[in-house]
């Protein structure tokens, strides 16, 4: 009698857990989440992005979890992504922590910000050839800009049903840039080029730094209204930083606000990685095309920098070309670290920030053109 009661009790407990509903797909995605945590915690590949994404990916694939169900905490976090609330706030924080001086000091490096966006259009064409319609292809292509908020914003306008796959691909590749970019950079350059030491950029006055966000906000709102919300918030954050009269606001936007929004955003993105919606053939194609976009963008930026180096008489280190994609400051940091591996005397961070910041505007222009042409 007691044995039968024990068996009945255990059976009831088992049915109340999610174990019976656990699928092979769930296990695959739980392992994927663990890999992201490993890369973030042990390998330290952009832990601010990968820890949140990896953890919520694991939770999203535990059957019976209410966090991702309608009304759950992760569900409401995702509403901030879906309603396009979080991307502009990310841009506000990024603007408040960014010095646009390197781009203002050497405007010729803006060319690298344009050249490094070849990957967007390569991926767009590839996506169309693989059967995606134009709106979907444009959203996939924007992954190559390495700008997570812009990828979310464009996708919500053109192909909202692909938002989970595209946001995960964009942020995962941004975090894995220290792994993806260096082999391509080294393949396209030689040791002598990687050891080139660049001159200190000119001094940028306070007036220039204050005028820049105001002028850029006006230009973007007039000529690129589809992406104006993002760039306007970026410029507002930068103005808070540069005007020097609202230090507490600038500090809050650049630190507390940005950290909080990043936490919510990464948790929201990871929570979309449920096996039943994520493990599809289209997801595999999107992830592949995103990698192609990153590779071509990195390569085209480096090649353009090599050409500029030749034209300048050997004064430009081609490694800064890879920073032309928009992930600030990750791409610039990768350029600097690869240069440091060749020679401790090579300091490229501030030089790479020029094309890196130009890449933000390059992605915005690309996204704005796509949104305007497709009527979004």
Confidence at residue 46, expressed as pLDDT on a 0 to 100 scale? 83
Mean pLDDT over all residues of the chain?
91
pLDDT in tens, 215-250: 999 999 999 898 899 999 999 999 999 999 999 999
- Tell which residue, 144, 135, 89, 134, has the closest CA to residue 288: 144
3-state secondary structure 59-115: HHCCCCCCCCCCCCHHHHHHHHHHCCCHHHHHHHHHHHHCCCHHHHHCHHHHHHHHH
Q: Is the pLDDT of residue 16 over 80?
A: no
Band the pLDDT of 3: cuts 50, 70, 90: low
The more confidently predicted of residues 64 and 157 is 157
Q: Is the pLDDT of residue 42 over 90?
A: yes
Q: Is the pLDDT of residue 19 over 80?
A: no
Locate 33 and state its tokens: 């989440």
Q: Is the pLDDT of residue 347 over 70?
A: yes
Q: Compute the C-alpha angle 106/112/114, nearest 5°.
A: 115
**59-93 as b/e, with b when 16 or more CB fall inside 10 Å?**
bbbbeebebbeeeeebeebbebbeeeebbbbbbbb
| Contact predicate 273/29, CB 8 Å | yes
Q: Hunting for tokens 């992830």 — which residue is that? A: 287
Of the chain, the percentage scoring pLDDT greater than 90 comes to: 71
Confidence at residue 79, expressed as pLDDT on a 0 to 100 scale? 93
Confidence at residue 36, expressed as pLDDT on a 0 to 100 scale? 93
- Tell which residue, 116, 140, 168, has the closest CA to residue 335: 116
SS3 283: helix
* pTM summary value: 0.88
Q: Is the pLDDT of residue 323 over 90?
A: yes
Task: Please confirm whether the linkage preceding 357 is cis (ω < 30° from 0).
Answer: no
């Amino acid at each position: 009698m007691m044995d039968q009661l024990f068996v009945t009790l255990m059976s009831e407990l088992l049915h109340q857990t999610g174990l019976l509903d656990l699928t092979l797909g769930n296990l695959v995605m739980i392992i994927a989440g663990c890999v992201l945590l490993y890369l973030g915690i042990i390998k330290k590949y952009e832990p601010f992005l990968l820890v949140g994404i990896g953890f919520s990916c694991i939770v999203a694939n535990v059957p019976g979890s209410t966090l991702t169900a309608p009304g759950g905490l992760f569900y409401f976090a995702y509403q901030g992504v879906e309603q396009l609330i979080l991307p502009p706030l990310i841009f506000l924080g990024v603007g408040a922590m960014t010095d646009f001086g390197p781009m203002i000091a050497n405007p010729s490096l803006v060319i690298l910000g344009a050249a490094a966006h070849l990957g967007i259009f390569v991926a767009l064409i590839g996506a169309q050839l693989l059967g995606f319609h134009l709106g979907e292809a444009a959203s996939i292509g924007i992954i190559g800009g390495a700008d997570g908020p812009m990828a979310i914003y464009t996708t919500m306008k053109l192909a909202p049903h692909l938002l989970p796959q595209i946001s995960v691909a964009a942020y995962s590749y941004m975090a894995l840039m220290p792994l993806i970019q260096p082999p391509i950079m080294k393949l396209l350059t030689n040791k002598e080029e990687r050891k080139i030491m660049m001159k200190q950029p000119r001094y940028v006055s306070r007036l220039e730094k204050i005028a820049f966000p105001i002028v850029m906000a006006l230009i973007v709102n007039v000529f690129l209204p589809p992406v104006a919300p993002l760039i306007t918030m970026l410029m507002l954050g930068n103005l808070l930083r540069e005007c020097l009269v609202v230090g507490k606001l600038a500090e809050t936007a650049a630190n507390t606000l940005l950290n909080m929004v990043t936490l919510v955003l990464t948790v929201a993105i990871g929570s979309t990685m449920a096996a039943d919606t994520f493990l599809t053939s289209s997801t595999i194609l999107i992830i592949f095309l995103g990698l192609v976009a990153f590779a071509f963008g990195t390569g085209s930026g480096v090649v353009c920098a090599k050409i500029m180096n030749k034209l300048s008489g050997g004064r430009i280190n081609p490694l800064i070309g890879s920073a032309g994609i928009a992930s600030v400051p990750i791409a610039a940091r990768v350029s600097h670290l690869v240069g440091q591996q060749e020679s401790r005397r090579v300091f490229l961070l501030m030089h790479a920030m020029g094309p890196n910041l130009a890449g933000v505007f390059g992605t915005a222009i690309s996204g704005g053109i796509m949104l305007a042409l497709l009527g979004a």
